[in-house]
Amino acid sequence: MDGIMSKNNSEYLIERNDNVYEVVIGLEVHAQVTSNSKLFSSSSTKFGAEPNTQVSLVDAAFPGMLPVINEYCIKQAIKTGIGLKAKINNKSVFDRKNYFYADLPQGYQISQYKYPIVGEGNVILDMPEGQKQVGIERLHLEQDAGKSIHDVDPSNTLVDLNRSGVALMEIVSKPDLRSPDEVNAYIKKLRSIMRYLGTCDGNMQEGSLRADVNVSVRIKGSTDLGTRCEIKNVNSIKFMQMAIIYEANRQVDLIEEGEEINQETRLFDTKKNETRSMRSKEDAHDYRYFPDPDLLPLEVTDEFIDHLKSEIPELPDDKKKRFIDEFKVSPYEATILVSDIDTAKYFEEVVAKMGKNRDMKLAVNWITGELFAVLNNKNIEINQSPISAKNLAKLINLIKNGTISGKIAKTIFELMLDGDLDPQIIVEEKGLKQQSDPKALEALIDKIINENREKAIEYKQGKEKLFGFFVGQAMKASGGKANPQLINEILKKKL
Amino acid sequence: MTEITSLSLFELIKNIKEKKISSNEVAKSFIDRSEKSKKLNVYVTENFENCLKLSKEFDNKPNFDLKLPGIPIAVKDLFCTNEVRTTAGSNILNNFVPSYESTVTQNIWNEGGILLGKLNCDEFAMGSSNETSFFGNVQNPIAKDLVPGGSSGGSSSAIAANLTPVTIGTDTGGSIRQPASFTGTVGLKPTYGSCSRYGIVAFASSLDQAGPMSKDVKDSSILLEVISSFDNKDSTSIDFKRNNYSSDLTRNIKGIKIGIPKEYRVDGMPGEIESLWKKGIEYAKDCGAEIIDISLPHTSYALPTYYIVAPAEASSNLARYDGVKYGLRSSGESLIDMYEKTRSEGFGEEVKRRIMIGTYVLSSGYYDAYYLKAQKVRQLIKQDFDQAYNKVDAILTPSTPSSAFKIGEKSNDPVSMYLNDIFTVPVNLAGLPGISIPAGTDKNNYPLGLQIIGKPFDEQTVLNIAYSMEEKINYKNNITDWWME
C-alpha cells in the first residue's frame, strides 16, 4: 500500500558551514514491459521459472539467428509514452550497444540510442506543498540481459538466460527532481501510470522496475548543474532515497573540502549504506553504438498511434479530477484513491453500490481507514481484499440509515472479514440493530438519571463534562446498540 | 549417355522424372567422384552415407512434382544444417552442430534436394581466395595451385569439378560472383531481401545474401526459384512477387537496354579484361540489346566504403563467439582471460584483422569520420544506380579485375586481395542482383567472367540477359581431372 504523505514539506537541503546546497536528481528507470513473450523472440517471460527453460535460439544468440520485433511490446511502449503525455516518434531505430559479458549472449544489447520510440513528455507529482511537473527526456525500448549467478558454485559463475531478451522500457527523466521525497513520489506516479495502462507491473521485488540514479549538488539558487555521479541499478525506492542522501552528502563534503567531484559510475552497497566507485569517466565503456543491420528502422503511422490512444484508459490525473468534481472528495483524498488503479476501482464500485443515498465521507474513511489497515496487516493488495466492495457499501449504508452505529459497524467489519460475510445478515443474526425507539430509550435514560441523581444535579450546576458520562452509561446499558444521536437529544431534554 | 556428374541440374531432373536414372544413382555418381577428388579439399563435412540413404528413400517413394526431385546438393558451410556440423570455415565453430536449419537450405530439402555435404569457404566468408579457411585452402580444378576464388571457394570448385549438380553460396562483397568467375561457372547474387538470412552464419548483415552457383544459367534459375522466399524470421526479408524464374527464362532480350559504366575502366586493369568486356558488349548487341554508355560516379568510393561497413558489422556479429555458449572454449584464469584465449585461438588472422578494423571504425571519436561517412557514401552509390536505371534495364561489367591467381600469391597482401572485389562490391552496397557468367579466358587459359547487374528484384532480366549471352559466348571449361592422378 502506498503510504499516506504526512509531512507538509518535501524540501531537501544540506547545510554546511554557511552554505546551503540543493540536490539535483535525474532517474533512468528500467521498467519491464508486461508481455507474454520477449522483445525479439517468442520465448516466455514468466518470472520464477527454472533457469534456462525460457530461452530460444535467438535469446542464446546461436549462429544465424535473427531478431524479429514483437509488435505487442511496441504497442506497450507507445501506450506508456501516451501516458507520459510524450511525443511518439513515427520513426525510431534499434541500435547495437556492444560489450562483452557472460550473460549477454550476442555480445551486444539491442537498444535505441539516437532515435528512441518516445520523446519528451512529463509527469505530475502531488507533493504536500502542491503539484510539481517532472520532465521526461525520452523512453526507449531495449533488451534485458541474462543473470550471472556467482554464489551457487564455488569456482564458477553460472548464467541463467531466462531474462535474456525480455523487453525493457528505459524512461529517462530530466534532472528535475530535488529530494528523496520527490523521487519517492516520482517512482510511485510512474508505476501508477504504467499499472493503469497495463504496460508494466512495477513489481520491484521481481526486478520489474529498477533505476539508475544521477545525483549532483549545487549551492541553492544556482542554475548551473554540478558534476554528476550515476548510481547504477538500484531496485527499491528506499534504497534510492538512502543512496541519494549518502551520495549528496559525500559530494557536499568534497566541495566543502575544496575537492573536485569526479564524474563516475557508482554502486550502492545496501548493507553498508554507502556508494562506491565502480568506474570513472575515463574507464567508461566505448559501446560502439550503431544501427542494428538485422532490423529495419521502426516506422509507426499516425493511425496506429491514434488507435492506441483510443485504447488508453482514464489515467490517474484525470481520474483524480473527476473524483473531486463528481464525488466531492478532497484533493488529498482523491490523490490517495487514484494512486493505485485497483483502489480507484474498488472505491468506484463502493460508490456505485451505495446507491442514491451515498455518503462519500464514510466511503473514503472506511476504505482508507479500516480497510487499508487490514490490507497492511495482511500485506495484501486491494484486489485480494477479504471484504468485497459490495459488502462494504452495504455496511456503510447501514450506518448511513441509522440501522447501526459507527461503533457497532467496527464490530461487524471484523466479523465480515471471515469469508466476506453480508453485514445485513450479521446484524440480524447477532441482534446488533441500533435501538432507535424513543420511548424505550427515554425509559432507559430515566432509570440512569434516577440512579445518578447527584451527578445530574452537578451537571445542572454547570459541570458540563458530565454529559459524556451519561451518554456512556446509556450506551453501556443498551449494549452499545442505542442510537447515539437520540441518546444525546433525550439526555439534553431530561437533564 | 554422358557421365551423370557432367549433366546439368536441368538434365538430371529431366532424367530422374523420366525414370531414366534414379536419385540413388545420381548420389552415388557424385559421391564416387567426390571420393576421388579429395585433393581439391572442397568438403569440410561429408554427408555421403546419409545422402545415399535418403536417395534410396526417395526412389522408394518418389515425388516427381518436386522441383529438385532426389537431387543431391552440397552447400557452403555457412548455412546451418540441422544435426550436421556447421563451421563457417572457422576453428571457433569446429565442433558446432546446429539443432536448426537455415531457411534457404530448408527450401531446398522441401523441394526434394538431399544434402551431400558442407563445402569449404573462407573463415566467416572473409576472403577472396578460400585461403583463410581453418580447413585449408581449396584447389581450383582449372589448374594446380590456383585459388578457386572466395569466399565460396569450395562451392565454385565443387561445381567446376562436377562434384555437386548445383550449390549455394553467400555473397557479401562478391563471394559468389568472383569464385564463379575464377572457375568458369555461373554465380548469382540475388537482390538483398530475396533469400532469407535466417540460419546463415552472419558476416555483414546489411550485405549478406545467399544465391545459386551452377554450371549454366538455366540451373541457377531453377535453384533461385527454390531458395528465394519471403521469411518472417528475417526482418530484412522482402515480400515481393517472385517470378517462376526457370519457366519465365527466355533468350528474347531484343530491345533491352544495357548500360556500360565508364568508371569500371579502372587504372591498371589488364588488357585482356578490357577486351573481354568489349567482346561482351558485342555479344550483348548480337542478342538484340541496345548498348548505352552510363556513369556511376561514386564507383571509386565503393571499395573503401565496403571495407568500413562490412568489418564494422562483422566486429559486432562475431562478438557472440565468446566461448560461453557453444563452439570453442579455451580455459582461462578469469572471464576476460577466457574470452581472450578463446578468440585468439578460435579466429584466424584475416577475421581478427577485420574485427579490429570494424571495432576501430565504430569507436567513439571515429564513428562519424568512418562509419557514418561510409553510410552516406553508400547512399550515393545506391543513387548512382537508381539514376542509371532511369536509362537502362541492366548493366554489364567484368566480374573481376583479373583471373584466378596462385595460392599464396596474395595472401600476405590484404589490400591487393581486397581489390579483387572492386567490380562486385558496389552491387552489394546497393543491394542489387548480379550474376557472373563465364565469357572467355586469359593468356593462361584461366576463365574470366562478365557481370550483369540488374534492377532491384529484377532477377528475371538479369537471368534472361545471361541466358541469351551464354548461348552466344558458348564457353566451355577445359577440366582435365589433373587432381585424380
Q: What is the pLDDT of residues B66-78, one digit of tens each?
A: 999 999 999 999 9
Is the domain of A122 the same as that of A198? yes
- In this model, does residue B306 exceed pLDDT 90? yes
Question: A442 and A346: one domain?
Answer: no
Residue A174 has pLDDT above 50, yes or no: yes
B→A interface, C-beta within 8 Å: 80, 86, 88, 93, 96, 98-100, 102, 197-202, 204-206, 232-236, 312-313, 315-316, 318-320, 322, 324-326, 335-336, 339, 359, 362-364, 367, 371
pLDDT classification of A303: cutoffs 50, 70, 90: very high
A374 shares a domain with A227: no
Query: A-chain residues within 8 Å CB-CB of B80?
Result: 63-64
Last residue of a domain, one of A310, A336, A352: A310
Average pLDDT over residues B48-58: 98
Query: Best residue in A39, A62, A74, A103 to probe B by mutation, most B CBs within 10 Å?
Result: A62
State the best of A115, A294, A295 to mutate against chain B, taking most chain B CBs within 10 Å: A294
Q: What is the reported pLDDT for A104?
A: 97
Domain annotation covers residue A377 = yes
Of A57-71, A280-294, A309-323, the poorest mean pLDDT is in A280-294
Q: Is the confidence at residue A5, as pLDDT, over 60?
A: no
- Calpha distance A264→A244 (Å, rounded): 15
The answer to whether residue A77 is domain-embedded is: yes
Q: What residues of B are in contact with residue A157 (Cβ under 8 Å)?
A: 335
Nearest CB among B236, B318, B339 relative to A296 is that of B236
Same domain, A299 and A416: no
Both A402 and A262 in one domain: the answer is no
- A119 and A196 together in one domain: yes
Residue A177 in domain: yes
| pLDDT over 90 at A348, yes or no | yes
Active site residues of B: 76, 151, 175
B284 φ, ψ (degrees, to nearest 5): -60, -40
Res A8: pLDDT: 55
- Is A8 inside a domain boundary? no
For chain B, domain boundaries: 4-259+390-484
CA closest to A97 among chain B residues: B316
Determine whether the interchain pair A159/B324 forms a contact, defined as Cβ–Cβ distance below 8 Å.
yes
> Residue A407: its pLDDT value, please?
84
Q: B4-259+390-484 — its CATH code?
A: 3.90.1300.10
pLDDT tens sequence across A10-20: 889 999 989 99
Give the ipTM of the model, two decimals please. Answer: 0.97
Q: How many domains does chain A have?
A: 3
Q: What global pTM score does this model have?
A: 0.91
Contact residues, chain A, for B324 at CB < 8 Å: 102, 105, 159
Assess whether A72 and A208 both reside in one domain: yes
Domain limit, last residue, from A260, A295, A310: A310
Above 70 in pLDDT, residue B354? yes
A6: in domain:
no
Given a cut of 80, is residue A252 above it in pLDDT?
yes
Q: Does the beta-carbon distance from B362 to A290 stay under 8 Å?
A: yes
Look up residue B428 and give its three cell numbers. Answer: 552489394
Q: Is pLDDT of A476 > 90?
A: no
Mean pLDDT within B368-388 = 97
Does residue A70 lie within any of the structural domains?
yes
Residue A221 and residue A166 share a domain: yes
- Per the DSSP assignment, residues forming a β-bridge with A32 are A168
Range of the domain at A110: 13-310
pLDDT band at A457 (very low <50, low <70, confident <90, very high): confident
Residue A219 shares a structural domain with residue A204:
yes
Is A216 found in the same domain as A305? yes
| Reported confidence tier of residue A423, pLDDT bands at 50, 70, 90 | very high
Do A263 and A380 share a structural domain? no
**CB-defined contacts A:B, below 8 A:** 96
Residue A1 within any structural domain of the chain: no
Three-state secondary structure readout of chain A: CCCCCCCCCCCCEEEECCEEEEEEEEEEEEEECCCCECCCCCCECCCCCCCCCCCCCCCCCCCCCCCCCCHHHHHHHHHHHHHCCCCECCEECCEEEECCCCCCCCCEEEECCCCCCECCEEEEEEECCEEEEEEEEEEEEEECCCEEECCCCCCCCEEECCCCCCEEEEEEECCCECCHHHHHHHHHHHHHHHHHHCCCCCCCCCCCEEEEEEEEEEECCCCCCCCCEEEEEECCHHHHHHHHHHHHHHHHHHHHCCCCCCCEEEEEECCCCEEEEEEECCCCCCCCCEECCCCCCEECCHHHHHHHHHCCCCCHHHHHHHHHHHHCCCHHHHHHHHCCHHHHHHHHHHHHHHCCCCCHHHHHHHHHHHHHHHHHHHCCCHHHCCCCHHHHHHHHHHHHCCCCCHHHHHHHHHHHCCCCCCHHHHHHHHCCCCECCHHHHHHHHHHHHHHCHHHHHHHHCCCCCHHHHHHHHHHHHCCCCECHHHHHHHHHHHC
Cis? peptide before A388, omega within 30° of 0: no
User: Is A27 a domain residue?
Assistant: yes
**Contact state of B201 with A64 under an 8 Å Cβ cutoff:** yes
Q: Are residues A248 and A346 in the same domain?
A: no
CA distance B180 to B6: 17
Contacts of B198 in chain A (CB under 8 A): 64-66
